[in-house]
């Protein structure tokens, strides 16, 4: 059975390198490449045999860890391996908190990338994040938002009004309001400003 691997990265040469690594581990794999988060989310939603997603945190359409949260919401049973140049000792832990199964630096050599891809493909499901403390509880709630709810939340972070969000997502304004109500309930906040503050506290608006 052919398995599909989604490589989400905005650098064509690095996508090529990752494709090479995947082909060495899984020669029969069908590889889909995406250069933006929007394209990656669409590809993930359309693929029925997705076995692995490799994701760069710093790509068009992504803010902070939102790419992980969005793709995890689209395909909760598909392992997401972050391969990124994102800095900071907390990045691997934060990535796992939002649904990634692992974190690999772009500075890693090809053999190391191949080894991690092989290990990831052998995993049955994304690793469960640590669940200690209020912050981890909120992370789980954000990770549990639907893809559309995440898109609405990111649009709120961008300062868009409900009418703009509705137009950009191709949904009714009343639907946007319904999503915001659900988001605020899940995040235990009273208004969109508080929802945005919660999202910022989780790194969802960190510009890469």
**Residue 125, helix vs strand vs coil:** coil
Instruction: Walk along the chain (208 residues) and give the pLDDT tens digit of each residue.
Output: 678 999 999 988 888 888 888 888 888 889 999 999 889 999 999 988 899 999 998 888 777 788 888 898 888 889 999 988 876 677 888 888 888 888 888 888 878 888 888 888 775 444 444 444 555 667 777 777 888 888 888 888 788 899 999 999 999 999 999 999 998 888 888 888 778 777 776 666 544 3
Boundary-marking domain end, from 121, 149, 167: 121
DSSP 28: T
Same domain, 99 and 183: no
Domain count, the chain: 2
Is the pTM of the predicted complex or chain greater than 0.85?
A: no
- Domain containing 90 equals 4-121
Domain boundary among 121, 150, 165: 121
In a domain, 12, yes or no: yes
Q: For residue 138, what are the contacts with CB-CB under 8 A and spacing of at least 6?
A: 187, 198, 201, 202
Which pair of structure tokens corresponds to residue 13? 């040469």
Together in a domain, 12 and 111? yes
**Is residue 68 domain-shared with residue 30, that is, in the same domain?**
yes
CB burial class (10 A; 0-12, 13-18, 19+) of residue 38? middle
Please report whether residue 107 resides in a domain. Answer: yes
């Amino acid at each position: 059975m052919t398995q599909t691997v989604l490589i989400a990265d905005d650098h064509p040469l690095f996508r090529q390198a990752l494709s090479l690594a995947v082909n060495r581990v899984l020669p029969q794999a069908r590889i889909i490449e995406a250069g933006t988060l929007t394209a990656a989310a669409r590809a993930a939603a359309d693929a029925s045999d997705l076995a692995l997603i490799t994701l760069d945190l710093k790509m068009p359409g992504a803010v902070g860890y939102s790419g992980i949260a969005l793709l995890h919401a689209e395909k909760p049973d598909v392992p997401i391996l972050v391969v990124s140049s994102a800095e900071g000792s907390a990045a691997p832990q934060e990535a796992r908190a939002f649904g990634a199964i692992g974190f690999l630096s772009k500075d890693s050599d090809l053999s190391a990338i191949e080894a991690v891809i092989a290990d990831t493909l052998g995993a049955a499901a994304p690793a469960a994040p640590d669940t200690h403390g209020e912050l981890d509880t909120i992370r789980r709630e954000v990770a549990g938002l639907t893809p559309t709810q995440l898109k609405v939340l990111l649009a709120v972070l961008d300062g868009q009004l409900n009418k703009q969000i509705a137009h950009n997502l191709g949904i009714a304004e009343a639907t946007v309001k319904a999503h915001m109500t659900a988001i605020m309930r899940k995040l235990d906040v009273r208004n969109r400003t508080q929802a945005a503050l919660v999202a910022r506290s989780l790194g969802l608006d960190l510009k890469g």
